């Protein structure tokens, strides 16, 4: 029995359909439960092979030489009863829009700027021009009588249509594909700007009062780092001395993190003076978004947003550095033992901060008109003796910050890397870091303010 194989869909995404000829079966893609658009006579199904496309690189030098990604799929037109059709067109569009509530200077009478990123059309059927397009690549009749099924790409008129544009009941399947350059802006949904891509199918029927049937399906374009980029694996290391009281080392495992994942962190503290106390650790992610229009002549900046993701603090009148957690009531108390301490955290970086109002952290962008950047800020609350009043202590807030890249949750390795075909080596010895002899290491997971 001969079987028609789909060149763009995997076998698990196909269903076996009644043969169009008497010898075999045809494999059709699984159609969604809800049609993209429908009326009493027609149903439209836009079935892309991949709903999400990935482009690599965040700098022009990175993505200008990268190969394009491929948008491909099927347009299925289901005819419920014989219908006279004038045209069947599928269009792929991309729009970049920035909003300006106060108006664009100098006149301030225009409140948005829109730019077309891509406009591509597939005229599958055109009656007026006499051009029949590519015709359907597969035709499935709804009747029980077998008919000749598979039409070649250049075979002329389809068996289910005539010269007057009458489509017989059945399913008409059209293949489409389009190359999307790697320099194309990724999908963005910011406060005052957006980038959206979508596929739109339009079917015009013959007749004065026949409405046009339109169906639209969004396509997501995600930007990911280069496969050979070392920035994702390069850690953030900060070593500093705070006056003559404390030496600290902060290690963030990576300069880039995918949203909705964990970011390992390690904080090492070496007291140089036994009278210092560490009361609280806070970790923030700050976001800055800028918008441009008129060739980057007009600029607008959003107020910087600050998200508290982790907080670890000692109890009242206690220190994170003392062995028993106490803080001496008297600065001359020599019974307090202060030891080097290493604290390890697995900080969860969420995409959605407030699910009720859909308040989200935006990933980094590589678009000239919409730029989002992020910083990680670590705040330490310290206490040290007051030389003017030895029975009291002074409170200090130290802030350490560094730029960090945030990627879309869809940019995880499960979506971007090929599966492993070889068995991994089992239980190889791993190198261990040799720390201080008296150093205490604690792993804290309950300090996260957000969870998956």
In a shared domain, residues 135 and 246 = no
Higher-pLDDT residue of 439 and 108 is 108
Residue 390 has pLDDT above 70, yes or no: no
How much is the pLDDT for 421? 62
Residue 155 has pLDDT above 80, yes or no: no
In a shared domain, residues 316 and 405 = yes
Which range has the top average pLDDT, 308-317, 330-339, 365-374? 365-374
In a shared domain, residues 15 and 149 = yes
User: Quick one: average pLDDT of 253-274?
Assistant: 89
Which own/partner pairs from 329-332 qualify as long-range (CB within 8 Å, at least 24 positions apart)?
A: 329/391, 330/390, 330/391, 331/275, 331/385, 331/386, 331/390, 331/391, 331/393, 332/390
- DSSP-based three-state secondary structure for 413: helix
Residue 129: band (very low, low, confident or very high) from pLDDT cuts 50, 70, 90: low
State which H helix or E strand residue 415 sits in. Answer: helix 413-416
Which residue range(s) make up the domain with 258?
236-414+438-444
How much is the pLDDT for 323? 62
Q: For residue 173, is it within any domain?
A: yes
Residues composing the chain: 452
In a shared domain, residues 408 and 381 = yes
In a shared domain, residues 255 and 155 = no
Residues 342-351 have pLDDT tens digits of 899 999 999 9
How much is the pLDDT for 157? 42
Contact criterion met (CB below 8 Å) for 346 and 262: yes
Q: For residue 220, is it within any domain?
A: yes
In a shared domain, residues 320 and 192 = no
In a shared domain, residues 330 and 383 = yes
**Side-chain-facing half-sphere of 387: CA atoms under 13 Å:** 0
Residue 19 has pLDDT above 50, yes or no: no
Overall number of domains in the chain: 2
Query: Which tokens sit at 234?
Result: 């390069």
Residues 156-214 have pLDDT tens digits of 344 555 557 888 998 999 999 999 999 999 999 999 999 999 999 999 998 878 889 99
- DSSP-based three-state secondary structure for 389: strand
CA distance 80 to 385: 84
How much is the pLDDT for 395? 84
Lowest mean pLDDT among 108-122, 150-164, 169-183, 252-266: 150-164
Q: For residue 420, is it within any domain?
A: no
How much is the pLDDT for 432? 40
Q: For residue 101, is it within any domain?
A: yes
Contact criterion met (CB below 8 Å) for 212 and 91: no
Vertex 195 angle, CA 35 and 70, to 5°: 65
Higher-pLDDT residue of 101 and 389 is 101
Residue 288 has pLDDT above 60, yes or no: yes
- Domain final residue, candidates 170, 199, 224: 224
Q: For residue 229, is it within any domain?
A: no
How much is the pLDDT for 259? 94
Q: For residue 242, is it within any domain?
A: yes
Question: How far apart, in Å, are the Cα atoms of 340 and each of 207, 246, 249, 383?
Answer: 84, 10, 11, 16
Going edge to edge, which strands form the sheet with 261-271?
236-242, 246-252, 261-271, 341-349, 440-444
- Domain final residue, candidates 182, 197, 224: 224
Q: For residue 231, is it within any domain?
A: no
Q: For residue 450, is it within any domain?
A: no
Bridge partners for 448 per DSSP: 310
In a shared domain, residues 244 and 218 = no
How much is the pLDDT for 15? 60
- Domain final residue, candidates 193, 224, 255: 224
In a shared domain, residues 85 and 50 = yes
Residue 327: band (very low, low, confident or very high) from pLDDT cuts 50, 70, 90: low
How much is the pLDDT for 272? 84
Bridge partners for 178 per DSSP: 71
Residues 60-96 have pLDDT tens digits of 888 888 889 999 999 999 999 998 999 999 999 999 9
Contact criterion met (CB below 8 Å) for 122 and 90: yes
Residue 12: band (very low, low, confident or very high) from pLDDT cuts 50, 70, 90: low
In a shared domain, residues 131 and 278 = no
Lowest mean pLDDT among 136-140, 176-180, 371-375: 136-140
State the chain's mean pLDDT as an integer: 80
In a shared domain, residues 214 and 336 = no
Residue 362 has pLDDT above 80, yes or no: yes
What's 257's domain CATH number? 2.60.40.640
In a shared domain, residues 200 and 245 = no
Residue 222 has pLDDT above 80, yes or no: yes
Residue 400: band (very low, low, confident or very high) from pLDDT cuts 50, 70, 90: very high
């Amino acid at each position: 029995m001969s079987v028609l194989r789909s060149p763009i869909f995997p076998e698990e995404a196909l269903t076996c359909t009644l043969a169009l000829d008497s010898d075999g079966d045809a494999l059709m893609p699984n159609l969604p439960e809800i049609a993209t658009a429908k009326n009493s006579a027609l149903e439209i199904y836009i079935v892309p092979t991949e709903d999400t496309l990935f482009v690599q690189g965040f700098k022009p030098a990175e993505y200008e030489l990268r190969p394009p990604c491929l948008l491909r799929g099927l347009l299925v037109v289901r005819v419920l009863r014989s219908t006279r059709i004038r045209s069947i067109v599928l269009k792929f569009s991309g729009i970049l829009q920035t909003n300006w509530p106060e108006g664009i200077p100098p006149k301030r009478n225009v409140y948005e700027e829109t730019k077309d990123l891509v406009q591509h059309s597939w005229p599958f059927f055109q009656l007026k021009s006499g051009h029949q397009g590519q015709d359907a690549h597969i035709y499935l009749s709804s009747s029980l009588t077998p008919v000749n099924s598979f039409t070649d790409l250049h075979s002329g008129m389809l068996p289910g249509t005539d010269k007057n544009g009458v489509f017989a009941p059945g399913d008409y399947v059209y293949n489409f594909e389009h190359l999307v350059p790697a320099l194309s802006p990724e999908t963005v949904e910011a406060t005052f700007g957006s980038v959206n891509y979508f596929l739109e199918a339009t079917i015009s029927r013959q007749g004065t009062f026949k409405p046009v049937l339109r169906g639209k399906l969004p396509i997501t374009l995600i930007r990911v780092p280069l496969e050979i980029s070392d920035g994702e694996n390069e850690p953030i290391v900060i070593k500093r001395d705070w006056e003559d009281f404390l030496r600290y080392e902060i290690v963030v495992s990576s300069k880039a993190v995918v949203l909705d994942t964990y970011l390992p962190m390690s904080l090492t503290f070496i007291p140089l003076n036994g009278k210092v106390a560490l009361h609280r650790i806070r970790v923030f992610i700050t976001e800055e978004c800028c918008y441009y229009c008129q060739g980057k002549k007009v600029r607008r900046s959003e107020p910087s947003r600050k998200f508290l993701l982790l907080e670890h603090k000692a109890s009242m009148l206690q220190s994170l550095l003392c062995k028993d957690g106490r803080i001496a009531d008297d600065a001359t108390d020599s019974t307090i033992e202060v030891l080097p301490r290493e604290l390890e955290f697995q900080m969860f970086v969420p995409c959605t901060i407030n699910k009720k109002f859909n308040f989200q952290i935006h990933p980094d962008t590589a678009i000239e008109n919409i730029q989002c950047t992020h910083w990680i800020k670590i705040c330490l609350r310290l206490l040290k003796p007051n030389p003017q009043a030895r029975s009291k202590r002074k409170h200090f807030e130290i802030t350490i910050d560094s730029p960090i890249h945030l990627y879309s949750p869809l940019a995880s390795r499960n979506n971007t890397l090929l599966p492993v075909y070889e068995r991994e080596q089992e239980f190889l010895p791993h190198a261990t870091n040799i720390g201080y002899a008296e150093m205490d290491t604690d792993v804290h997971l309950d300090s996260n303010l957000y969870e998956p």
